[in-house]
Structure 1
Amino acid sequence: MYQVIQFLQQNGGEMLYKTWEHLYISILAVLFGIVAAVPLGVLLARMKKGAEVVIGVVNIVQTLPSLAILAFFIPLLGVGKVPAIVALFFYSVLPILRNTYTGVKGVNRNLLESGKGIGMTAWEQIRLVELPLSVPVIMAGIRTSTVYLIGWATLASFIGGGGLGDYIFIGLNLYQPEYIIAGAVPVIVLAVLIDYILQKTESKVTPEGLKGMKEVS
């Protein structure tokens, strides 16, 4: 315990920077994942054939080892934060894509027919009916993806991406537990904190009236 306290006293500023670096890598990858996966999920929900094939291909990518994905991008993008973010982006897509597809497909078809009946365009149905009703399911995918990525982002240090993984691997190489604790504990705290924030965000972005409609459907 004394070694941990001494470590914090000596490296507190650097630890805050690495925590921010870790969060930056993770959140940016998730944001790219949302931008790519949500529209694709909506599109797949409208496809009569091929949707399961696309999700299956993405699922295969998800099963590839994290280090293999990171190593794959080194010849293409070099080392640093960029290849780390790109690799984490690939891992962020599946949970968001799958949940978006499931959520949109699960919307009550009668509501969509009612929307058509009052003259809604396809875009208005997506924006005003499908996405609001699918928010809880989509947000569950985003939460899952974000928590996973915060943990996987520790591997970014292997390719010079920085973050709290630096402390973990220094501790493993030098057999110094205080470094491992300094890297692992903030990762856990970040994951719990971000999950809580996203849970509150889900509650705020889901209109109360539409919550009730979803329960009825």
Structure 2
Amino acid sequence: MELFFQYISENWLDLLGLTYDHIVMVLLAILMALIVGVPLGILAARYRRLGSVILTVANIIQVFPSLALLVLLMIVFGLGFKTVVIGLFLYSLMPIIRNTFVGLTQVNPAITEAGRGVGMSQLQLMWKVQLPLSLPFIATGVRVAAVIAIGVATIAPLIGGGGLGREIYSGINMDNSARLYAGAIPAALLALLTDFVLGQVQKRMHVSR
């Protein structure tokens, strides 16, 4: 452990930079997944036949081995940051689509009927009633997707990406445990912190409903 703390004290600026890269990759992927996943979840809830197709495709992507998916994306998009973000985006889609779908289908039909009774259009019902009531479920999807993305991002260096995975793989290749832990421990702490923060946000949403 002494070597680990010595390595941290000597390279903390570089590690901060790698942590920043890791966070940026995950944030971009989650943002893209929200922009695409929430509308797909709405479509899945509104049109059940189409929904089964959307959920099946998203599930296939989710269970695809992460390294294999990134390698396939690398063939199409090349090495680097963009390919990693696209891969993380694809892995983040399923939790967001599924939880949007579940949230919308759990809305009490009586509330929807009451909205129709006061003259709300379908669009107004969606934006003013159904989506706000589904926010805790969507927040759960974001929470799961973010933790998954943080973990998958550690293999980014294998396809030319950055992030904390660089320290992990450098530590493995150089048989340097201090360097390996310098990448693995911050990545694990980042996942735990993200899960905790988003969990608190989710609880506040449940309380405010």
TM-score by length of 1: 0.92
Correspondence 1:196 to 2:196: yes
Q: Could you give the per-residue CA deviations for residues 162-192 of structure 1, whole angstroms, max 9, x where no partner exists?
A: 0000011011111111111101110111111
1:132–1:206 contact (8 Å) kept in structure 2: no
Q: Could you give the per-residue CA deviations for residues 27-48 of structure 1, whole angstroms, max 9, x where no partner exists?
A: 1111111111111101111104
Distance 1:140 1:114 in 2: 27
The aligned counterpart of 1:74 is 74
What is the aligned residue count? 209
Residue 207 and residue 43 in structure 1: after superposition, are their counterparts in 2 closer, same or farther (change >3 A)?
farther
Q: Secondary structure of 1:120's match?
A: coil
Correspondence 1:22 to 2:22: yes
Q: Secondary structure of 2:49's match?
A: coil
The aligned counterpart of 1:186 is 186
**Match runs of 1:119-134 below 5 Å:** 119-134=119-134
**Match runs of 1:26-175 below 5 Å:** 26-175=26-175
Listed as ranges, the gaps of 5+ residues in structure 2 are none
- AA aligned to 1:64 is F
Listed as ranges, the gaps of 5+ residues in structure 1 are 212-217
- AA aligned to 1:181 is Y
2:40–2:54 contact (8 Å) kept in structure 1: no
TM-score by length of 2: 0.95
Give me the CA root mean square deviation. Answer: 1.4
Q: 1:65 Cα deviation (Å)?
A: 1.1
Percentage of matched positions with identical amino acids: 38
2:136–2:205 contact (8 Å) kept in structure 1: no
